[in-house]
């Protein structure tokens, strides 16, 4: 690409250049019969409803109730996650990071926005933002405070930088007071942020309050 390609033009549309390009491409491919708009809708629908943090939550909840699964998860997260039969199998090398009272794990992609989308869905906007990507490394506790997360003084924070080849899934600590819950109920406590490291799972009491609202 040369500098000449970067010309500015005003097309008088509300859509961004990228949206216009996607729309034009979709129209041409549909007209030529290469793609079926209904199939595209199904893919978008899968991304919006079937592929999301609930997949990661199932992985975490299983690890909380099944010590053998947890061992396999920490050994080879790709294999362990795929053994649950999710809609979209994990393709990249997935590594599970266990939080403990001594160590809290935080995931970032300093370069761009690599994210374990097969288990967490599409990344939130803040994950892709420059401030998160730079500050997570320089001032992790400050970033966690921005998310309303205050860790005990003695807990160390370790930062993990995602790449195109390696993605990370945080295995948060099982919340207190959750001993009586079923695996399905436990999965409902697992938030997306708790699997990125910017949050903690909900407590059973929080979950109850949320459900009665």
At 87, list the tokens: 């809609």
Nearer to Fe ion, 61 or 119 (CB): 119
Closest residue by beta carbon to Fe ion? 114
Pure H helices in 160-202: 183-187, 192-196
C-beta of 74: minimal distance to Fe ion in Å? Answer: 23
Q: Give the CA dihedral 178, 175, 183, 54, nearest 10 degrees.
A: 140
128, with CB counted inside 10 A (0-12, 13-18, 19+), is middle
Nearer to Fe ion, 163 or 178 (CB): 163
C-beta of 128: minimal distance to Fe ion in Å? Answer: 9
Nearer to Fe ion, 96 or 107 (CB): 107
* Residues known to be catalytic: 109, 112-114
C-beta of 112: minimal distance to Fe ion in Å? Answer: 3
C-beta of 135: minimal distance to Fe ion in Å? Answer: 16
Nearer to Fe ion, 64 or 127 (CB): 127
β-strands 93-98, 166-171: how paired?
parallel
At 186, list the tokens: 């436990």
Residues in contact with Fe ion, total (CB under 5 A)?
5
C-beta of 130: minimal distance to Fe ion in Å? Answer: 13
Residue found by looking up tokens 């989308």 in the block: 117
| Contact assessment for residue 60 and residue 119, using Cβ atoms and an 8 Å cutoff | no
Contact set for Fe ion, span 94-133 (CB under 5 A): 109, 111-114
Smallest CA-to-CA distance from 80 within 55, 51, 105 is with 55
Contact set for Fe ion, span 165-204 (CB under 5 A): none
Nearer to Fe ion, 15 or 111 (CB): 111
Q: How far apart are CA 57 and CA 191, in angstroms?
A: 7
| Contact assessment for residue 55 and residue 117, using Cβ atoms and an 8 Å cutoff | no
Contacting residues toward Fe ion, per CB under 5 A? 109, 111-114
């Amino acid at each position: 690409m040369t500098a000449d390609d970067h010309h500015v033009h005003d097309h008088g549309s509300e859509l961004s250049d990228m949206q216009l390009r996607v729309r034009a491409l979709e129209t041409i491919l549909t007209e030529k019969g290469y793609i079926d708009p209904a199939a595209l809708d199904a893919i978008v629908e899968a991304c919006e409803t079937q592929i999301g943090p609930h997949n990661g939550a199932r992985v975490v909840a299983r690890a909380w109730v099944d010590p053998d699964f947890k061992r396999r998860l920490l050994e080879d997260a790709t294999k362990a996650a795929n053994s649950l039969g999710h809609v979209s199998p994990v393709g990249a090398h997935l590594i599970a990071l266990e939080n403990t009272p001594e160590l809290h794990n935080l995931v970032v992609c300093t370069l761009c926005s690599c994210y374990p989308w097969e288990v967490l869905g599409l990344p939130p906007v803040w994950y892709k933002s420059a401030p998160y990507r730079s500050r997570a490394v320089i001032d992790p506790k400050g970033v966690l405070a921005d998310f309303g997360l205050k860790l005990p003084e003695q807990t160390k924070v370790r930062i993990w930088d995602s790449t195109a080849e390696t993605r990370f899934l945080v295995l948060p600590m099982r919340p207190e007071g959750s001993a009586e819950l079923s695996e399905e109920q436990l999965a409902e406590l697992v938030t997306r942020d708790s699997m990125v490291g910017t949050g903690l799972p909900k407590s059973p009491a929080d979950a109850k309050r949320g459900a009665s609202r």
